[in-house]
């Protein structure tokens, strides 16, 4: 079973080479970029990422890697609320062999402490990656944003089993089942619907959680969790049983909490 899965991932990655050309225009951070094949388990798994490609070295040598266990955050009154300027539209979904990645129509952005970051894509991890005081969520949603200088800000939302999530239900109908497959929502949705009601957050400097593990990423993790049903969890888990990286050492990094 395990062997089969590794093989399938291998084939998936071969598929990625073909797919990456088509999505390169979106500069998928850490996902679908040219680079050595990698996976979430086996020989190509997280413990070996740094040996797979010189470009992945920072995965093990970096001191600001993500995800981390969030604890001991300090309140910082200077952290302004994130301003959301997300627009509705049809979403494009791609099963890229590492996750299901959703590309929204252009025009959605956030303002973080006065700076604009455009929403580039969002994607999911199962189980979740943002541990809080030792507890992992069932899934994570990562909304990846980029500013004019190419710096990234990722908003992480922890998803836990509970009531069905109406917005995810719309997306899940279009989950592409096979690696390299795409789907497009004809109906309009807004990524706003994926956010928790309370937008208080933790913030710290980290990295992409997948190769090439690039650092200098501003992480914004919402304190409030969002629910999804057991069936919704299962639907994603059927496609990706494990597509998450374990907690990385903080090396004394500061975690701040908004008001």
Q: Indicate which residues carry an active-site annotation.
A: 98
Three-state SS letters, the chain: CHHHHHHHHHHHHHHHHHHHHHHHHHCCCCCCCCCCCCCCCHHHCHHHHHHHCHHHCHHHHCCCCCCCEECCCEECCCCCCCEEECCCECCEEEECCCCEEEECCCCCEEEECCEEEEEEEEEEECCCCCEECCECCCEEEEEEEECCCCCEEEEEEEEEECCCCHHHHHHHCCCCCCCCCEEECCCCECHHHHCCCCCCEEEEEEECCCCCCCEEEEEEEECCCEEECHHHHHHHHHHCCCCCCCCCCCCCCCCEECC
- Of 68 and 76, the one with the shorter C-beta distance to Zn ion is 68
Task: Give me the least distance between CB of 114 and Zn ion, in Å please.
Answer: 25
Distance in Å, CB of 259 to Zn ion, minimum: 26
Minimum separation from the CB atom of position 75 to Zn ion (A): 26
Q: To the nearest whole angstrom, how small is the minimum distance from the Cβ of residue 128 to Zn ion?
A: 10
CB of 142 or CB of 158, closer to Zn ion: 142
Residues in contact with 47: Cβ distance below 8 Å, sequence separation at least 6, in sequence order: none
CB of 26 or CB of 77, closer to Zn ion? 26
| Interface residue list for Zn ion (CB under 5 A) | 142
Q: Which residue is nearest to Zn ion (CB)?
A: 142
- Virtual torsion, Cα 190, 194, 198, 200, nearest 10 deg: -100
The distance of closest approach from Cβ of residue 142 to Zn ion in the complex, given in angstroms and rounded to an integer, is: 4
Task: CB nearer to Zn ion: give 82 or 210.
Answer: 210
CA distance 101 to 226: 19
Task: Compute the distance between CA of residue 126 and CA of residue 240 in angstroms, rounded to an integer.
Answer: 7
Instruction: Choose between 75 and 159: whose C-beta lies nearer to Zn ion.
Output: 159
Least Å from the CB of residue 69 to Zn ion: 16
Beta carbon nearer to Zn ion, 142 or 218: 142
């Amino acid at each position: 079973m395990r062997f089969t899965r590794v093989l399938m991932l291998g084939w998936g990655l071969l598929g990625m080479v073909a797919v990456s050309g088509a999505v390169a225009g979106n500069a998928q951070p850490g996902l679908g970029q040219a680079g050595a094949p990698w996976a979430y388990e086996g020989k190509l798994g997280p413990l070996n990422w740094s040996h797979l490609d010189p470009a992945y070295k920072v995965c093990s040598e970096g001191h600001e890697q993500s995800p981390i266990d969030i604890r001991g955050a300090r309140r910082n009154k200077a952290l302004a609320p994130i301003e959301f300027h997300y627009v509705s539209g049809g979403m494009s979904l791609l099963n890229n062999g590492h996750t299901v990645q959703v590309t929204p129509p252009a025009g959605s952005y956030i303002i973080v402490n006065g700076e604009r970051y455009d929403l580039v894509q969002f994607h999911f991890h199962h189980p979740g990656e943002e541990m809080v005081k030792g507890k992992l969520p069932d899934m994570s949603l990562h909304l990846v944003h980029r500013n004019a200088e190419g710096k990234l800000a990722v908003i992480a939302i922890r998803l836990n089993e509970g009531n069905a999530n109406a917005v995810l239900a719309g997306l899940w109908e279009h989950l592409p089942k096979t690696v390299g497959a795409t789907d497009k929502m004809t109906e309009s949705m807004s990524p706003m619907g994926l956010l928790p009601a309370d937008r208080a957050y933790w913030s710290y400097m980290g990295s992409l959680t997948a190769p090439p593990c690039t650092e200098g990423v501003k992480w914004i993790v919402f304190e409030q969790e969002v629910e999804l049903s057991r069936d919704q969890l299962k639907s994603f888990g059927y496609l990706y049983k494990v597509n998450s990286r374990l907690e990385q050492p903080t090396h004394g990094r500061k975690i701040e909490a908004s008001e």
